[in-house]
Amino acid sequence: MAADSSKVASMQDAIREVVRDGDTVAIEGFTHLICFAAGHEIIRQQKRDLTLARMTPDVIYDQMIGAGVASKLIFSWLGNPGVGSLHAIRRRIERADPEPLEIEEYSHFGMVARYVAGASRLPFFPLRSYYESDLPKANPRIVPIDSPFSDDTVYAVPPLNPDVAIVHVQRADARGDAHIWGVLGCQKEAAFSAERVIVVCEELVGESVIRSDPNRTVIPGLIVDAVVVEPKGCHPSYAQGYYDRDNRFYVEWDAIGRDPQRLESWLKEWVHGTATHAEYVDKMGDRWDGLLPPEAWSEPVNYGRYE
Amino acid sequence: MAEALTDRAAAAKATTTETMIVAAARQLEGERVCFVGIGSPNLACNLAKRTVSPDLELVYEAGVFGAVPARLPLSIGDPTLVTGAASVSSMFELFAYYLQAGLIDVAFLSGSQIDKWGNLNTTVIGDYANPKVRLPGSGGACEIAINARKVFILMPQTKRSFVEKIDFVTSPGHLAGKRPAEWAGVGPTIVVTGLGMYEFSDDGVMYLSSLHAGVTVEHVRDNTGWDIDVASELRETHPPTAAELSLIRETLDPHGTYSR
């Protein structure tokens, strides 16, 4: 592979070139591998009028929506996992404070199915959910359809094709071939459904490392536009085997997000006050000490040589 | 090591949440595959695995099957659920091949509001377009309520949560007694609150089946927004034993995060 095929870019350049005002952006990751570093760079660059899609908006979207980058949210569970509410988002939904936030709401399976339809370029995806729920009344894009083959009725959800998907992974090569292990969420479906893809990795590895274990490749470089190397880029979320979830931060965020002034000063100090995620990581100091897990390696598998 | 408790002392000292966790755990006897939520359902399932149901397979929404959490998970995708699990799949596979295919025997749900048919609201208090309180929404609850073989509900009980009419049906229970027979799951079979346990009649209507120690029927009526039915042979919930309590306090939730 020629050196000029490398897609490695800084986070600043990747966000500047790939994310445009008005885009639909999905930063996925189910509790695991949530790319806070990319969300923070979007805030720093003051992107505007984004539609943010995520199954669980989590603290990252509370920060981004609190910072004013988005006008719409597509989601299926809106909370601070294990803690409670996302207050900046709730202020905008409940009181249009400081401005309204349009929402488009599904269930988890519905959101996953939307990505699957998007990734497969299908017009809809059918699922056995939503029967007798009020969700289809709240969202007219959840529609019952009759099976062409039986008396069955299922619900259809439309494809989701974000302009940009940002997926964090444990390791990738310079072309964007990416290994993920642990909770997979819908990183793969979000990446395949998007028009443009940024892969953010804990570690940049050689192509031979990826090729030594192709079953672990969740995202192929084929669909990747930029590769950003950003160690600890998920904090306070986690990367399996690299660092633990900073649960204390999720608890602390409750009080910060509740108060618009505290939220603003937190953004000023931790996002605008740091030029890069590496600075944010350094600024955390010894907070990392309790977040690094002891090792637990998998047994290697034998792929065999067939020459 | 805490001082050993006698069962009598244990019962006297159990918190409301511990009583709920223990009551729910005992209901998992004989069950095989359980879809677990974070907080008290997680404690109930892990307690059951160590007591009445050692072969219970724990399934977490994040895609984990056969989890063996070595510490108390603080989120639904906690890394401790992954290490040592039998399988970790994508969320599509979890919802399509496990849940929708009917492999889940029991799932735990909760809600901010419940009605007498076990329909649950986790979406909104007030009007959807102009919410008084915006709640988290469905997550996986809507499809779990439809596709899990049965549903156990674990939630606190007040007049504001046990209501005549819920503001939004997020997850269907027994509807108005007309749950379609072709759905994979039979719907909620048990509700456990801090006051007692409830089951459902053939018409899908909730009734009080067991009172926790020290609670009266009047207590229950004062905390229910409709005229609740009471079983003709009302039982008293067997209080938590010393062994159950020490498992919760010393092994499963040593800091009392979800059980105090």
Q: Is residue A268 part of a domain?
A: yes
**Whole-prediction pTM value?**
0.96
A164 in Cβ contact with A52 (< 8 Å): no
Cα dist from A166 to A175, B11, B56, whole Å: 15, 51, 37
Of the ranges A10-19, A35-44, A69-78, B13-22, which one carries the lowest mean pLDDT score? B13-22
Mean pLDDT value across residues A39-61: 98
- Calculate how close chain B gets to A82, using CA atoms only, in Å: 5
Q: What ipTM was predicted for this assembly? A: 0.96
Residues 6+ apart with CB under 8 A from A190: A26, A28, A115, A162, A165, A167
Pairing of strands B106-109, B33-36: parallel
In angstroms, rounded to a whole number, what is the distance separating the alpha carbons of residues A112 and A118? 10
Mean pLDDT by 10 residues, chain B (260 residues): 63 87 97 92 94 96 95 92 97 97 97 97 97 97 97 97 98 92 93 98 97 96 98 96 95 91
B247 by DSSP, 3-state: which?
helix
Is A298 within the bounds of a domain? Answer: no
Give the pLDDT confidence of A107-136 residue by residue, as tens digits. 999 999 999 999 999 999 999 999 999 999
Contact residues for B92 (Cβ-Cβ < 8 A; gap 6+): A112, A113, A116, A186, A189
Peptide bond into A148 cis (omega under 30): no
Q: What tokens appear for B17 in the block? A: 């949440």
Burial of A297 (0-12, 13-18, 19+ CB in 10 A): exposed
In a domain, A280, yes or no: yes
Q: Is the pLDDT of residue A2 over 60?
A: no
Q: Which domain holds residue A225?
A: 3-107+160-291
Contact A31 B77 (CB under 8 A): yes
Q: Which of residues 202-231 of A touch B (CB under 8 A)?
A: none
Find all residues with CB under 8 Å of A149, minimum gap 6, and list them. none
Q: Does A127 touch chain B (CB under 8 A)?
A: yes
Contact residues on chain A for B128, CB-CB shorter than 8 A: 134, 137-138
Model pLDDT, residue A221 = 98
State the DSSP string of B69-122: -SS--SSTT-GGGTTT-SEE--HHHIIIIIIITT--SEEEE--SEE-TT--EE-
CA atoms of A145 and A152, how far apart (whole Å): 9
Concerning whether B143 is annotated as a catalytic residue, the answer is no
Residue B3: predicted pLDDT: 52
| Whether A236 contacts A250, CB under 8 Å | yes
Cβ of residue A105 closer than 8 Å to a chain B Cβ: yes
Cβ atoms A160, A125 nearer than 8 A:
no
Does any domain span residue A219?
yes
Assign 3-state DSSP to chain A and report helix, strand, coil percentages, each to 5: 35, 20, 45
- DSSP codes, B160-196: TTB-SS-S--SB-SSTTT---TTSSS--EEEEE-SSE
Q: Is A253 on the interface with B (CB under 8 A)?
A: no
Q: What's the CATH class of domain B7-252? A: alpha beta
Measure the CA–CA gap between B47 and B230, rounded to whole angstroms: 29
Of A90, A94, A108, the CB nearest to B61: A108
Contacts of B115 in chain A (CB under 8 A): none
Q: Is A2 on the interface with B (CB under 8 A)?
A: no
A56 shares contact with chain B (CB less than 8 Å): yes
Q: CATH code at A189?
A: 3.40.1080.10
Report the phi/psi class of residue A15: left, alpha or beta, with left for phi > 0 and alpha for psi in -120 to 50: alpha
Please check whether residue A296 lies inside any domain of the structure: no
CA distance A201 to B131: 39
- A306 three-state secondary structure: coil
Measure in Å the smallest separation between the Cα of A166 and chain B Cα atoms.
17
Looking at beta carbons, which residues of chain B come within 8 Å of A90? 134
Calculate mean pLDDT across residues A34-47. Answer: 98
Q: Which residue from A minimizes the CA distance to B183? A: A128
> Over 50: is that where the pLDDT of A74 sits?
yes
Give the helix/strand (H/E) hosting B133.
Answer: strand B131-134
How far is Cα B118 from Cα B126, in angstroms, rounded to an integer? 19
In one-letter notation, the amino acid at residue A38 is: A
- Provide the pLDDT confidence category of residue A1 given band limits of 50, 70 and 90: very low
What local confidence, expressed as pLDDT, does residue B92 receive?
Answer: 97
pLDDT in tens, A166-188: 999 999 999 999 999 999 999 99
Does residue A59 sit in helix, strand or coil?
Answer: helix
pLDDT, residue B7, reads: 74
The predicted-structure confidence for A248-300, as pLDDT tens digits, reads as follows 999 999 999 999 999 999 999 999 999 999 999 999 999 999 999 999 999 99
B4–chain A nearest CA distance, Å: 31
Q: Which helix (DSSP H) or strand (DSSP E) does residue B142 occupy?
A: helix B141-147
CA atoms of B27 and B107, how far apart (whole Å): 12
Structural contact between residues B62 and B76, judged by C-beta atoms closer than 8 angstroms: yes
Six-digit token pair at A244?
Answer: 């633990």
- Residue B37's pLDDT is 85
Q: Whole-number mean pLDDT of chain A?
A: 97
Q: How many Å apart are CA A196 and CA A165, to the nearest integer?
A: 6
Q: What domain count does chain A have?
A: 1
H helices, E strands: number in chain A = 11, 12
Q: How far is CA A67 from the centre of its chain?
A: 17
Is residue A121 assigned to a domain?
Answer: no
pLDDT tens digits along B213-239: 999 999 999 999 999 999 999 999 999
Mean pLDDT value of segment A192-209: 98
CA dist A178 and A220 (Å) reads: 6
How far is it, in rounded angstroms, from Cα A102 to Cα A303?
Answer: 49
